[in-house]
Amino acid sequence: AVVSTQSGHYGRDLNQKKLKHQTNQLQFNAMELQKQSEQWLKLLDNFNQALKELGDVVNWSKSIESDMTRVSHTLAYAHKGYAESSSVLEGDTGSGSTTT
pLDDT score for 54 = 86
pTM of the model: 0.50
Q: How far apart are CA 25 and CA 12, in angstroms?
A: 20
Q: Report helix, strand or coil for 60.
A: helix
Per-residue pLDDT of the chain (100 residues), as tens digits, is: 445 566 677 788 889 999 999 999 999 999 999 999 999 999 999 999 998 988 898 899 999 999 999 999 999 999 888 777 777 666 655 444 444 4
pLDDT confidence of residue 82: 79
Alpha helices (H) in the chain, listed in sequence order: 2-99
